[in-house]
Amino acid sequence: MDTPLELFIFIDALGWRIAQHHHFLEDLMPYRQPVTMQFGYSCTALPTILSGKKPVDHGHLSFFYLDPANSPFKAFRFLKHVLKPASLWDRGRVRHQLSKIFRAAYGYTGYFQLYAVPFDRLPYFDYCEKKNIFGPEGLAPVPNLFDLLLRSGLQFHITDWQLPEAQNFALAGDAAARKDMNFIFLYTASLDAHLHNHVGDDKAIQQKLDFFDFNIRKLIQVAKSHHPRCHVTVISDHGMTPLRGVFDAKAQIAATPLLFGKDYTACYDATMARFWFHRPGAEEKIRQAMAKAPGHWLNDDEKCRYGIDFPDHKYGDAIHLLDPGWQIAPSDMGVKPLNGMHGYTPDDELSNASLLSDTPFDDCPVQEVADLFTLMKKRIQDMRLDALEHITL
C-alpha cells in the first residue's frame, strides 16, 4: 500500500495579486483563490494559520505589548546610559546583533528582534514571540499544527524557519522520499523581505518567483515519485502594498505636552499607532494630535471582527490604523519607510493572501487565513481515516 502525502508550502507574502499577475504555478495548481488576511502582521497571521484561532485567543498581535511589571527589558533603564552614541546603536545591523545576544541570553526560541524601539522605552513592554511558534506547544495553551500532527500519530516534517531556504527545500525533499511520510509543512520567508524592497519591480519579483517555481517543482517530483497519492498546496498569509506616503506620528505626539510613561504609552508599528492612556485628558490630546493622519481609529466592531478585542487592552487602549500604502516613519520598527508594506485593513485588495492547490478544496471552504488551519486539519483527519481503512485485521 502506498502512503498518501500532504505537502503544504507556505510562501510568506505571496499575495493573490502577485500570484495571478505572474501566473505562478498555474499549470500545476489550477484550484486557486484569494484569501482574506488576518488583521496585523506576519507575527499575527502565522499564529492564526498555525492554530486556526484569532489573536484574542492565541495572544499574538504585534511583537510588543504593554507590561512594565513583567518586562524582560528592565535592564535597559540602565543600559540606555551605556549604549551610546545613538547614531551607532540605532543602526539596523547593530540592533540585529544586540537582538541575537539578548535572545540567546534569555533562551528565547521564537523570532526575536528589538527593531528600532528606543532603549529608554523598552522597559515598558513585554515581547510576545518568545517561543518557536512552529514547535511543540509553541502557542500553548492553544494547540498548534505541530501539536495536532503529534497527536495524530502520522509521520510528519515541519521545516526549521531558522535554516536557509535552500536547505529547508532539501530537507523537505529528504522527508518526501520517505515511504512512511504523511505530512510536510515547508515555511519560507524570503519573498516577504524581497517584496518589502521590490514590490513595484515585476522583473525582480519574477526572478524571485522563479526560485520558488524551480524548487517547488523539484520537490513535487521527488514527492510524487515516492507517493503516487500526493496532494500539494501553496498557502500564504498576506500580500504587499506599495508605499504611497509617510506620516510622522512620533513627531505629532512629541509636540503635545504629554509625557511618555506618565500620561500615556505608545508603540508605533509600521502601519498603526497603538496607545495606552494613563491620565485624564491624555486621550483627547492624542486624538487631536493624530487628526491629520491618513487613517482612522479602530472602533469596537472592527476589533471584534478582527479578533483583537483583548479584554485587558494589552495591545492598546486605542489603535490608529493608516490607510493602505501609508507608513509611520520613523517608527518603532524602523527609521525609514519601505517600498512595500502589509498590515493594513483586511479589506485592502492588495493584502489578500493566496491559496493554490492541485486538489479541489470545496470540501473545506476557505475564506480567511484562519481557515487554512481547518483545511490542514481536514487533510490530516482524512489521512487518519485512510490509514484505518487499510489496516489488515
Kindly state whether residues 218 and 233 are assigned to the same domain. yes
Residues 271 and 301 in one domain: yes
The domain in which residue 356 lies consists of 5-55+141-237+347-389
Sign of CA dihedral 286, 347, 139, 9: negative
Domain of residue 51, CATH code: 3.40.720.10
Q: Is the pTM of this model over 0.85?
A: yes
Which residue numbers in the chain have pLDDT < 70?
Answer: 1, 80, 87, 387-393
The pLDDT score that the predictor gives to residue 388 is: 53
In a domain, 136, yes or no: no
Specify whether 269 is located in the same domain as 310.
Answer: yes
Domain identity same for 164 and 184: yes
20 is a domain residue? yes
Say what the pLDDT of residue 84 is: 76
Angle CA(123)–CA(318)–CA(340) in degrees, nearest 5?
A: 80
| 79 and 115 both lie in a single domain | yes
Instruction: Output the pLDDT for position 393.
Output: 34
Number of domains in the chain: 2
Which pLDDT belongs to residue 82?
A: 76
**Is 80 inside a domain boundary?**
yes
262 with 231, same domain? no
- Is there a single domain that holds both residue 190 and residue 301? no
Residues 77 and 206 grouped into a single domain: no
Check whether residue 51 and residue 149 sit in a common domain.
yes
Residues 192 and 259 placed together within one structural domain of the fold: no
pLDDT of residue 392: 41
Instruction: Say whether both 271 and 373 belong to one domain.
Output: no
Closest CA to 281 of 257, 316, 250, 254: 257
Kindly report, residue by residue over 5-22, the tens digit of the pLDDT: 999 999 999 999 999 999
Does 342 reside within a domain? no
Same domain, 153 and 15: yes
